[in-house]
Each structure stands twice: as structure tokens, then as C-alpha cells.
Chain A
Amino acid sequence: DAGVTQSPTHLIKTRGQQVTLRCSPKSGHDTVSWYQQALGQGPQFIFQYYEEEERQRGNFPDRFSGHQFPNYSSELNVNALLLGDSALYLCASTQGVRGETQYFGPGTRLLVL
């Protein structure tokens, strides 16, 4: 039973660039949520995708966008990178928007220079 997978594991970008992070949900799950975890902080909810649409969004600017594919995998895109975007980006999946438990992937660590 494959868990949540994310790629890449690490990424270095410079200010102003754009980045795309990828996530494959746990087998049997159809809902994907993205979180940003800054150093020393808890994860902060970015948005959630279900049926290829953004269903919920946290307090993040429009520079953060996403996509969900028919196979339930998802991408997180961040445009015009800022130094403050440096963080661990976590993907979590559930069965349905109301799924009881979110299963997390290992994360992608993004460093913006």
C-alpha cells in the first residue's frame, strides 16, 4: 500500500523564479491538501483539491496555485518566489473532503536564495 509520495525532496531556487512541486496521494485517496511548514513552526494550510477543483484555501497569496489531475495526483506552483517562501512543503491526502485522517508525505524542502 503506497503512501503519499512527493517530489523532488529538495529544491534550490532564486528570488523571482517559479517552482512546481508534485504529490501522489495514498492509494485509495482522492483529496489532496498542501501545507507550508516554516522552520520552527507547525504546518500552515495552503489549499485542498478534490475532483480537480480547489475546495478550500488558507491565507496564502495568489502566487500559490495548484492543480489536481484525473489520477488524483496534484501539483503546487509558486510564482515570483520570495525569500520567505523557503520552507518544507507538505502534501497530505484523505478519502473525500471530509476524510477523518490526513496522511502526510515526506515533504519537499524549498530554499529560496
Chain B
Amino acid sequence: AQSVSQHNHHVILSEAASLELGCNYSYGGTVNLFWYVQYPGQHLQLLLKYFSGDPLVKGIKGFEAEFIKSKFSFNLRKPSVQWSDTAEYFCAVRSNDYKLSFGAGTTVTVRA
């Protein structure tokens, strides 16, 4: 079974700072990769996904993620965060059994 590891439990940064959240997974086969976000009081929403093709994926709200197959990584980035990016971010992996496995999540706090 696959597992997903998110490097940071809690990240605190100021507005306009750059954000990078790490995600590594353990599965040797073909995977589909996702980043979900959960804003305070809201349900999980899809930020972006990678299935195939260009390993640099662009999502909503200025987020992007890069799939590096050799490193089993799918890190999330945003060049300049806003206060409204305060949320919990989850990396998820789906292997060929179509089950979705989530990391433990990273809480991002953006200070105005």
C-alpha cells in the first residue's frame, strides 16, 4: 500500500512570502497526485492534480506543483502568499487500485 509523507506540520509566514510544501510518496507504480486545501470552516477542495504529461502543474489561486518521479515527490508552491491562503493543505496519491491516500496535512498560517 502506498503512503504519503508531508514534511511540515505547521508553516507560518508573512504575506508576499513564497510558500513551498513538501510531499513524498512511497509507491513504485503509476500514480495520480493531488493537492487538496481545506480553508477554515470549509470542506476539502481540489487545488490541482497531476495525471500525466507536463510535470509542472498549475492549479487554482496561483498554486503550482512539480512532479519529480525520481524523487517520488510532488511539492506545492506559490510565489507570493496572501492572508486568504491560511488553510490546511493535504497531499494525496492514487495508485492503480483507485484508493486515495492522504498525507497528515500541513497547516499554513499567513500573517498580514
Is B68 part of the binding interface, using a Cβ–Cβ cutoff of 8 Å? no
CA distance A58 to B102 in the complex (A): 13
Cβ–Cβ contact B99 & A56, under 8 A: yes
> For residue B31, which residues in chain A have a CB less than 8 angstroms away from its CB?
none
Is A33 part of the binding interface, using a Cβ–Cβ cutoff of 8 Å? yes
Is B25 part of the binding interface, using a Cβ–Cβ cutoff of 8 Å? no
Within B9-59, which residues are at the interface with A (CB < 8 Å)?
A: 32, 34, 36, 42-46, 49, 51
What is the CB-to-nearest-CB distance from A94 to chain B, in angstroms, rounded to a whole number?
A: 9
Is A41 part of the binding interface, using a Cβ–Cβ cutoff of 8 Å? yes
CA distance A98 to B26 in the complex (A): 21
> For residue A112, which residues in chain B have a CB less than 8 angstroms away from its CB?
none
Chain B residue nearest to A90 in the complex (CB):
B44
Cβ–Cβ contact A42 & B32, under 8 A: no
What is the CB-to-nearest-CB distance from B47 to chain A, in angstroms, rounded to a whole number?
A: 11
A: number of interface residues (CB 8 Å): 24
Is B104 part of the binding interface, using a Cβ–Cβ cutoff of 8 Å? yes
From B45, B49, B90, give the contact of A43 (CB < 8 A). B90
What is the CB-to-nearest-CB distance from B4 to chain A, in angstroms, rounded to a whole number?
A: 7
Is B101 part of the binding interface, using a Cβ–Cβ cutoff of 8 Å? yes
Chain A residue nearest to B41 in the complex (CB):
A106
The verdict on A100 contacting B104 (CB below 8 Å), with A90-B44, A105-B43 known, is no
What is the CB-to-nearest-CB distance from B49 to chain A, in angstroms, rounded to a whole number?
A: 6
From A42, A48, A103, A105, give the contact of B102 (CB < 8 A). A42
From B34, B46, B102, give the contact of A44 (CB < 8 A). B102
From A42, A100, A106, give the contact of B49 (CB < 8 A). A100
In the A-B complex, the 8 residue pairs with the closest CB atoms: A42-B102, A104-B44, A106-B43, A43-B102, A42-B104, A42-B105, A104-B43, A45-B99
Given contacts A35-B102, A105-B43, 16 further A-B contacts (CB under 8 A): A41-B105, A42-B4, A42-B90, A42-B92, A42-B105, A43-B44, A43-B100, A45-B101, A48-B99, A56-B99, A100-B51, A101-B34, A101-B49, A103-B46, A104-B36, A107-B43
